[in-house]
Amino acid sequence: MAKASTKSGAVAERRPALAGREIAAAAVRVAVLPPAERISLRAPAGSVSALSKALGLTLPTKPKTSASKGGRTALWLGPDEWLVIDEAGKSPVADCAPVKALHSAVDISHRNVALAVTGSGAEATLSAGCPQDLSLAVFPVGAATRTILGKVEIVLLRTAPDAFRVECWRSFSDYVFEFLGEAAHDAAA
């Protein structure tokens, strides 16, 4: 297969999911974020400090929290699981590679698509499909969790009082985008 495609001389063109799509409702804007480097990081408590040093940020150990530094964000997903997102173009996998402490770092950059939900109606938009309490008191800025939106699993990060980052699997991104679009128009009403 690979040979045939190189012979035909086809130039691979990268077409990110949802590229260029955007929804702008009265109080909410749903936009596709540019591709980022991501890893799924699994490690026991004993490896956290070594990995934090290698990644250049302190891995959060409390539930529903995240840590951010220099364009890189680490989201607590479970007691030994993190999602590390790098928007500065540096590879977190490469940074973890020299760490001798027990860990597993898997590159999932292309598995996820990120959407930004911003505006005064952002919370209402997400609450249309997310069963968690997203009020600022319970879900403050920097809070991150894996949860569900409608019928699919998402990872949710609050980046500002009226801004969220929604990470979903690429194949679900169309559903998530349409869902948020419908919700955005409802939130505006």
Partner 1 sequence: MLLIRCPYCEEELPELEFRNAGEAHVVRSSHLADVSDQDFEEFFFIRTNPKGIIYERWRHIHGCARFFNAVRDTVSDKFLMTYKAGEPKPLLVSEPAKTAPAKPKAAAKPRSRKGDA
Cβ proximity to partner 1: between 58 and 65 the closer is: 65
Span interacting with partner 1, options 88-96, 107-115, 145-153, 157-165, rule CB under 8 A? 145-153
- Residue that the structure tokens 């920097």 belong to: 142
Q: How far apart are CA 58 and CA 71, in angstroms?
A: 14
Site for partner 1 in 78-97 (CB under 8 A): 78-79, 81
According to CB under 8 A, which one of 140, 148, 161, 171 is a site residue for partner 1? 148
Cβ proximity to partner 1: between 81 and 87 the closer is: 81
Cβ proximity to partner 1: between 77 and 124 the closer is: 77
> For the chain, what's the residue count?
189
Q: How far apart are CA 172 and CA 154, in angstroms?
A: 9
Span interacting with partner 1, options 12-20, 49-57, 76-84, 114-122, rule CB under 8 A? 76-84
According to CB under 8 A, which one of 23, 30, 52, 64 is a site residue for partner 1? 64
The amino acid at residue 168 is: C
Handedness of CA 66, 82, 146, 78 (dihedral sign): negative
Site for partner 1 in 18-47 (CB under 8 A): none
List, in sequence order, every residue forming a beta bridge with 66; answer none if it has no partner: 75
Span interacting with partner 1, options 8-16, 30-38, 140-148, 157-165, rule CB under 8 A? 140-148
Cβ proximity to partner 1: between 106 and 148 the closer is: 148
Q: Does 147 bind partner 1 (CB under 8 A)?
A: yes
CA atoms within 13 A of residue 119's CA, in its CB half-sphere: 22
Contact (CB, 8 A) for 141 and 158? yes
Residues 6+ away with beta carbon under 8 Å from 49: none
According to CB under 8 A, which one of 25, 32, 75, 77 is a site residue for partner 1? 77
According to CB under 8 A, which one of 146, 163, 182, 186 is a site residue for partner 1? 146
Q: Does 65 bind partner 1 (CB under 8 A)?
A: no
Report residue 85 as tokens.
């997102």
Contact (CB, 8 A) for 61 and 75? no
- How remote is the C-alpha of 113 from its chain's centroid? 7
* Residues near partner 1 (CB under 8 A): 63-64, 77-79, 81, 131-132, 145-148, 153
